[in-house]
Amino acid sequence: MNDISEHSQYLLKSRYLLKDDSGEIIETPDELFKRVAKAVASAESQWGGKEQIALWENKFYECLSNLSFLPNSPTLMNAGNIEQQLSACFVLPIYDSMQSIHDSFKYAKLIQTSGGGVGFNFSRISPKNNYAYSICKHLSGPLSIIEDFDSLTEGVKQAGKRRGANMAILDINHPDIEAFIDAKHQSAVLNNFNLSIAITDQFMHAVEKNDEWELIHPNYRNVEKRVDAKYLWNKIIQSAWATGDPGLLFIDTINQYNPLTALGKINATNPCGEVPLMPYESCNLGSLNLVKFLKGNNGGKEINWRKLEETVETAIRFLDNVIEINTYPTPEIKSTTLKSRKIGLGVMGWADLLIELEIPYDSDKAVQLGEKIMEFISEKAKEASIDLAKTRGSFPDWNKSIYAPDTPMRNATRTSIAPTGSISIIADTSSSIEPIFALAYEQKHILNEHVFENINQQFVATLKKHKLYTTDIIKKVLKYGSIAFISELPVAIRNLFKTAQEITPEWHLKHQLAFQKYTDNAVSKTINLPETTTKQEVGAIFSTAYFWKAKGISIFRYNSKDKQVLNIGVETDASNCNICRPVNRSQAW
């Protein structure tokens, strides 16, 4: 298998490798990949014999061990274990009754303990202090219940391996929407939740026309209050600028592309927004490491389309097998998931791929290539799912889907762009479709506050290749995390290594929409903004995302929170700097 970085080693040891009862590690990374490959290949017994199982076990192991494809974290953690819960993404319903609230509370604990994350739409809960119309007499409103769920998650570090993740969604017409918008204005509040507002076309039209907007009781449908739509919109912008929350889900656009509209409307997503799901649905994700699909060509590099096609086919089969061997937290989740068999194959290493091809992120060439790659992945994923349907059967709700009656399909959805926070570290590549965050930065380990110092090794290699490497340049990069102001470096290099905050929001959105165009589910993408970004600029980003038909949008303005996982720059003496040298790689376990 490939050598792995020091950062990856630390992450694998702390979260993924098996441990005995005393907490001692009893597994190597190679053994982890063999464990996962063997467990997932065991599903082949339903359609073939021992030779078939062995064939796919080898193929799965090859993809995992060479880091060209990795599944979501729960699969890496739990495959082959007694408690084999392998899904990362869930949506639970929550209604205006104490029984429903208690059930969702119980189910969320089960899911988070096994490594999954949960999305909720709290819009059915009666507004705060609504004595006249509350069904369950729970008069504290949605925010109080969200706080209860946040406390639950705080107490459940997922399988002792990662902190819980949740998405709280509230419809734009809920009477408590103003309090929801402001929910994170206090520090250290709802740290285990992303907040998103389900925005409708009707609301956006009201904003455009400067109309009044009705806030409606979710259960009795009476108008509780009227507010100016523009006032509400500006309040959202102010809060997102100040705290990073809430994000927006353009719910009508999401439902426009729902492959199972006959079953009802989607009103929630998983915690990072890349998988819209019906109540009790779960989804299994995996990502292709795009850098692994490069090959040499006349002294340059190009994409190995044949290898990419073969890996997509293997990955789709892998994710479909996961559905078969999965241990589901509840019978409702199992039944609902098996009916649609949703999976989400995405990508990571996009920024690194562009650098290897010497294509600046903020260029038409980059956006066009992104669209081309995702169209190819989507097409091959669809072909693989059709082939699986011929031998395994279409997903049970197929006759209610957009694919009936002509196109057999094993999986209702096949592609999704996840944030790949942990697995991109394991693969030692850039996350998802994001640009590079900074050329030098500190990254805080989520569970125990351990801080890693990072410098971009592609940048270091480029400097050395062009004989531009100097201690002075490295000192500046370590301090500022950027080369935008280093005039002695060629413009072409400064353009190639632009960081996330140096790339204008328009280019962030263009990349998001290029990949969304050929993605069945959705795209998790954060537009990282410099600290100097204005509220007006945030408003323009949100409006553009809506009019360009994004399914959702989230932004984060640097230093808008007291604590953040990534911090630009590393205050280190470059003369004694280990991170300026090639990353230590080792398989000595």
Which secondary structure element, helix H or strand E, spans residue 324, and what is its range?
Answer: helix 305-325
According to DSSP, residue 481 is labeled S
Pure H helices in 341-486: 350-356, 364-392, 421-426, 457-465, 471-480
Q: Which two tokens stand for residue 22?
A: 């005393």
Catalytic residue among 121, 192, 270, 326: 270
Q: Which residues lie across from 526 on neighbouring strands?
A: 554
Report angle CA 173, 174, 177 to the nearest 5 degrees.
100
CA distance 581 to 455: 9
Catalytic residue among 272, 284, 321, 411: 272
Q: Which two tokens stand for residue 539?
A: 């408003």
Q: Which two tokens stand for residue 574?
A: 């470059």
CA distance 12 to 28: 9
Report angle CA 373, 165, 559 to the nearest 5 degrees.
80
Contact predicate 544/508, CB 8 Å = no
Reduced 3-state DSSP string for 126-181: CCCCCCCCCCCCCCCHHHHHHHHHHHHHHHCEECCCEECCEEEEEECCCCCHHHHH
Which secondary structure element, helix H or strand E, spans residue 322, and what is its range?
Answer: helix 305-325
Query: Annotated catalytic, 272?
Result: yes
CA distance 531 to 457: 26
Q: Which two tokens stand for residue 15?
A: 């979260």
Catalytic residue among 274, 442, 502, 537: 274
Query: Annotated catalytic, 274?
Result: yes
Query: Annotated catalytic, 270?
Result: yes
**How far, in Å, are 127, 170, 267, 535 from residue 234 at the CA level?**
22, 17, 23, 9
Q: Name the nearest CA neighbour of 438 among 450, 463, 456.
A: 456
CA distance 402 to 462: 48
Catalytic residue ranges = 270, 272, 274
